[in-house]
A and B are shown apart, each in its own frame.
Chain A
Amino acid sequence: MSSREFTRPDPDQLLRQIQAQEEHEARGRLKIFLGYAPRVGKSQRMFDEGRRRRKRGQDVVIGAIQTKGSEDLADLIREFEVIPTRGDVIDVDAILARAPHVCLIDELARVNPPGSRHAHRWEDVEELRAHGVNVVSAINLQHVREQQDNVERITGRRSTHSVPESFIHSADDITIVDVPAEECRHHGAKGLTPAQLSELRELALLLAAHVVEKQLQRYMDAHGIMQSWGTQERVLVCITPRSSARVMLESGARGAARFHGQLLALYVRQPDLSREAGETVDQNLDLARKLGAEVHIIDGPDPMSAIIRFAREQRVTQIFIGHSGKPAWKFWAEAPVDRLLKEAEGIDVRLFPNAA
């Protein structure tokens, strides 16, 4: 067998993919510029993009513009066609009637006043996209809902406006606007220390990496490619009644955190376990959940084969497992772990001493 990890998707799955693809193509594309703090230059990048697209002959209008503190607003209005907002709410009907190719919308996290068509600006954007309008927009990290706890921990502040992270993931393109913390401070993000800005910057970079990873995965799935590129570390801890699961899990959790990767725990159900052994396994699985691992329990007559198959499906980069229990002087006889080492091509295996 070739070592290439290709599988043939089943026809139903293919059909679903094609339908999803077609739906996707009729929708307007969304491009987001992500900044890690106010005034890193996101809006600037957004308008630059608008300019470039106009030069390429695309029909570009502005649907929402940030008015406060923007000195060259007048220039922008001269340059682009602006569809006025009603109050602070973008005029979805007017934009749809105008039907531009691209609509620039600033301040994605804006909340609409009660009684508006949608409660949030990002929902307005969804409607525009549903009608085939391409949208280019900008957002700050502090306005991504799932990031708000982290941002608050770093800065002590929390914005009342937010956009769900799933919306960011739905973007076709995301670009990070990266500026060193020092410059950002210089330009206006006052009241934040370089260390705080650096932490925010790191979060924004990781969020962008996460979005890119998911996009890549979608692309691979759509093309029936089952290869793992290991751009993200994925650690799989194998739980058995004998293994010193705590050491492995803690080590795995720490590694996953340091590499900003994923932690998975796997138990291949074994028949005829003593009650005591069964309890140990349960405790270990509980611990795994507590440490943030994604826990999987599977059946398989041959545990090693089951582990390897699972690891490939889940694009695991490292397997953590206990050393084999047989005496050292019998090293020439093949132990299950030897087989794992032989067969887990392309995956690192870390062996741990078993509990005494």
Chain B
Amino acid sequence: MLKRGSLKIFLGYAAGVGKTYQMLTEAQELRKQGRDVVIGYFEPHGRLETIARTEGLEFVPRRIYQHRGSTFEEMDANAVIARNPEVAVVDEFAHTNVPGSPRPKRWEDVAAIRDAGIDVLTSLNIQHIESLNDQVWHVTGVRVRETIPDWVVQEATEVVMVDVTPRALLHRLERGVVYAPDKAAKALENFFTESNLSALRELALRQTAHQLEEKREDREETFNSTAPLPQTVISEHSGRPEHLLIWLTPHPSTAMLIRRGRRVADYLNSSCSAVCVGHHPDLDRYLEFCRNLRIDTETIEGKDYAKAVADYARTHGITQIFATRAAPDIHKLVHLARDMQVTIVSERVRGNT
């Protein structure tokens, strides 16, 4: 059987930290070692030093799409696969392809390329990681739309943090290295403040550290090493394995609730599923969102929502219920589930700093 290609992610905390530059430096290094390296996609952003790093590397031509009267260029993943190099460089992992492309997301293109046995180097900014979406919004006031599910990032063979200090980054921005001057001024005013950047940087450092921990635990499980194994987490209260249940309601804070539940379950190595009571047009996208994040869902019936959820939890070995404080029957749920752990998740408050 064909061995799946490896995936290496160059993770940064903002545009301009040098992800693409470092990725291309590595590509050049691999080429020098005699490996067959191509560029599947590269976004120059007009950065001369970065563009210079592509010298001598073969570009697989992009594919051109027409959409609503405009022309779009996307990576031609199928052409990369047909070219069959050993390594492909694919910039901007979180990119969404234009409608009409064979796959909606670039990370799906990358999965297809890896399935063909090709190693991939890619770049990603921390704000695109799904479970950090609320925290990033909280810090920057920007709701990032292009996100990538955490499990996709966890699948990477290696994640490397590309680090510079916020001061150095602000310097680059002022000198016009990152953006054209008009855009730079706007970026400096909004997203790129020293405190925003520090907070994003801290998130990226913690995320990379967490990723390493998870990888090690996977490896330990696989090789059954003599090191103490991370046991399936047993709930201190009941002695049962931890199982989180997310209560989905039509309230808009449900997206945040799902992300938070997923993140906590990931960190605690516990299983995670979601339930909603009855049908509502707004519930469909939350059910879909859960499936994207690999959370099992179930729709149950019941006139009394809080009671239905509490009963379901009791009969399904749930150790902890996750609900948003905006759920209409939240106080009732809290009182009906007094024999269980209930986490009431609150949307973070954001000041306009």
Contacts and interface: CB of A to CB of B under 8 A. Distances in A.
B206 A231 contact: yes
Interface stretch (A11-19, A118-126, A137-145, A345-353): A345-353
A225 B233 CA distance: 38
Given A205-B205, A231-B203, A328-B336, A344 B346 contact: yes
Interface string B224-249: 01010000010011000000000000
B331 A352 contact: no
B202 A178 contact: no
Interface string B197-215: 0110111011011101101
Given A202-B209, A341-B330, A346 B346 contact: yes
Interface in A233-274: 244, 246-247, 250-251, 254-255, 258-260
Contact of A213 (B202, B233, B335): B202
A231 B198 CA distance: 10
Given A247-B236, A341-B330, A351-B342, A199 B202 contact: no
A337 interface: yes
B205 A209 contact: yes
A94 interface: no
A200 B110 CA distance: 30
Contact of B162 (A178, A201, A229, A260): A178
Given A212-B198, A348-B343, A3 B349 contact: yes
B346 A206 contact: no
Contacts of A107: none
Contacts of B125: none
Contacts of B332: 331
Given A176-B205, A229-B139, A219 B194 contact: yes
Interface in B333-353: 334-336, 338-349, 351-353
Interface stretch (B57-65, B142-150, B163-171): B163-171
B273 to A, nearest CB: 18
A185 interface: no
Contact of B344 (A178, A351, A352): A351
B8 A205 contact: no
A350 B342 contact: yes
Interface string A326-345: 00101100010110010011
A352 B163 contact: no
Contacts of B139: 229, 231
A352 B336 contact: no
Residue in A205, A227, A330 with the greatest tally of chain B CB atoms within 10 Å: A205
A20 interface: no
A348 B346 contact: yes
B34 to A, nearest CB: 16
Contact of B202 (A4, A202, A212): A212
Interface residues of A, number: 66
A230 B256 CA distance: 14
A237 B225 CA distance: 35
Contacts of A247: 236-237
A66 to B, nearest CB: 22
A220 interface: yes
B213 A202 contact: yes
Majority secondary structure of chain A interface residues (helix, strand, loop or mixed): mixed
A112 interface: no
B158 interface: yes
Interface string A197-231: 01101100110110011011001100101010111
A178 B163 contact: yes
B329 to A, nearest CB: 10
Contacts of B343: 348-351
A201 B195 contact: no
A173 interface: yes
A176 B237 CA distance: 40
A350 B160 contact: no
B202 A209 contact: yes
A184 B262 CA distance: 33
A196 to B, nearest CB: 10
Given A31-B165, A353-B340, A4 B219 contact: no
A9 B168 CA distance: 30
B165 A230 contact: no
Contact of B206 (A4, A175, A209, A251): A209
B335 A328 contact: yes
Contacts of A251: 236-237, 341
A288 interface: no
Contact of B341 (A199, A230, A347, A353): A353
B268 interface: yes
A356 B219 CA distance: 41
A254 B203 CA distance: 20
Contact of A219 (B161, B195, B215): B195
30 contacts: A3-B349, A4-B352, A173-B167, A175-B163, A176-B205, A178-B208, A195-B225, A195-B227, A198-B212, A199-B216, A201-B212, A208-B163, A209-B202, A212-B202, A216-B199, A225-B353, A230-B348, A231-B206, A260-B209, A323-B342, A335-B335, A345-B349, A346-B349, A348-B345, A349-B325, A349-B343, A350-B343, A353-B237, A353-B339, A353-B341
Given A195-B219, A201-B212, A209-B206, 9 more contacts: A173-B165, A176-B205, A178-B208, A206-B209, A215-B198, A216-B198, A231-B139, A330-B335, A348-B343
Interface of B: 8, 135, 138-139, 158, 160-165, 167-168, 194-195, 198-199, 201-203, 205-206, 208-210, 212-213, 215-216, 219-220, 225, 227, 233, 236-237, 260, 267-268, 320, 325, 330-332, 334-336, 338-349, 351-353
